Structure 1
Amino acid sequence: MTPNIDVRSALQEGSQQPYSDLVTRRTGQLVRTVIEHRIADLADGSVAVLDFSHIGLLDRSCADEILSKLMLPLTADHPSKDGYLLLRGIAEHHLEIIEAVLEVHELALVVQLPNAEVRLVGAVTEKERHCWETVMRHGAALADAVAEEVGLACETCQEMLERLARRRLLRREADRFVPLGAVA
């Protein structure tokens, strides 16, 4: 199950105002609370898609309140929930702010731009990015195939892919690593 959560509707539900801009920490708290309620009953392993297509302005404090507080529990050493987030409809002007927030918290996310391009943003190394891109190109891949393509030792690549999976940037299915779903 992949729920699509329109962030603007979450904003309107939380604030009861017809806004489309995310500009204060308080607004971020309201939106995050609505999103948390919407994803609370998702089955483990579900991918929640947060759709930013109808969001205008996005300031750093609001992005921090929403994204870091949704992601940190998922990427903790002992997460209480096994879920994934994917951001859709991310405009170029949102990217700088989102990446700054993710970098501060050493987080990363998969985002889909309006043109359907999928990117890995946030705190990742170039080698991690290259491994992630290889899995994305193949749709699913074994660690040894990724290692061969990117020129890493198999054990090193396996560890890197495992880390990407723990950080909720790839899914692990048996011995393969796969993107976060059909939307990716």
Structure 2
Amino acid sequence: MVAGDHSADLARLESVCVAAFILLEGRQRVMSDLRAREEFLSGDRPDDVVLFLSDSFVSDDRLDEFGERVDDGVLLVVDGERGRNAFQAAIGTDAMDFARSAMEHEGVVDVDLAGGTCPETPGDDAADHEVRFVFAFTEKQNEDAGGLYAEGDVVHAYAQCSCGVAYSDRWNPSDADTNTD
């Protein structure tokens, strides 16, 4: 945390702690291991969601015990309803409302869901554009919908950049290299 007024950081930390308790209600641990993420990225967990919280967004190491530690944060794979509730508690907005607003800007969310490229990045210092958090879910193949949806399952990913821009990405798991090693 940066020196100075910590009220916003403390409020965010409290929100993340609330989110962790929501995630753990009735369970010992969240199902957030490497295998769970690989299954999600393969389209095999359509009832689950992924939450990625960057170290710059939350700097509480206690969150590590609830998810998978990745280079720049913590990634959690949780059942959909619990994940949406945790997202709302941690971020302060409804997950699907966030997704709708993020769809206004196409960007690139990394296939491993732990980063991305903000559409506002060109010409700017990349340090001004770090992913703060990601929310993702999968949708089963729907041939009637056509396009990408007819080709197979679809991963929908929504990211919030440190510059304030929310953006979205989507892809077929079969077209992506989901190696998370």
**TM-score, normalised by the number of residues in structure 2:** 0.27
Query: Of the two structures, which has the highest relative contact order with CA contacts closer than 8 Å and spacing of 6 or more?
Result: 2
**TM-score, normalised by the number of residues in structure 1:** 0.27
The structure richer in strand per residue is 2
